[in-house]
Amino acid sequence: MAADSKDLELIETFLESERLSIIASQQTKGLKAHGSSAAALRTEMFTTGGALVDGTGTFEVQEFGRSPGRMPPFAASYQWLELKKYGLTFKNETERRALAWRIMIKIKRKGSYTFIRKKPTGVLSENITQERLDPLIEALADKYMLQIVTDIENLK
């Protein structure tokens, strides 16, 4: 069943609000490095509803951390070191590259800090909550419940 334009507008407004909230949370929590994940987070609308799409697939990693196993990409780790700095200074590029490799090997063996702590950052879980979903659910449920009851009565 396709949703009507008012419902789609309501859903799109909700999703856009969530998108902006997640991006703000990412910034506040210090999880934003170069901004590609925030730029790739988008709202997609369909005739039946909508979705919030993580175009880079990094928000789940930001929320729960990276598990051990595969090594993170070198280019991303190297760039992350340059953007985050954490008060680090390097004598030369070789030193910076070496630290990026050591960090990548550590993540491959043990996982990222967030994963090891087993404590999500909240970038997603603090934003997408039942409390925030309830008004949208109620607005849509009331309308469609009435429509379903009317359809059932018409069948009699």
CA distance 74 to 80: 10
pLDDT digits (tens, 9 = 90+) for 53-78: 998 888 898 999 999 998 888 888 88
For residue 8, pLDDT beyond 70 = yes
Average pLDDT, the chain: 87
For residue 117, pLDDT beyond 70 = yes
Cβ burial of 62 (10 Å; 0-12, 13-18, 19+) is buried
The pLDDT of residue 85: 65
Per-residue confidence at 102, pLDDT binned at 50, 70, 90? Answer: very high
Q: Which is more confident, 9 or 85?
A: 9
Cα torsion angle, 106, 56, 25, 63, sign: negative
For residue 1, pLDDT beyond 70 = no
Compute CA 123 distance to the chain's CA centroid, rounded to the nearest angstrom. 7
Per-residue confidence at 41, pLDDT binned at 50, 70, 90? Answer: very high
The pLDDT of residue 116: 94
CA distance 61 to 36: 14
Other C-beta atoms closer than 10 Å to the C-beta of 15 total 20
pLDDT digits (tens, 9 = 90+) for 120-145: 999 999 998 999 999 988 888 877 78
Half-sphere exposure of 112 (CA within 13 A, CB side): 17
The pLDDT of residue 2: 62
For residue 15, pLDDT beyond 90 = yes
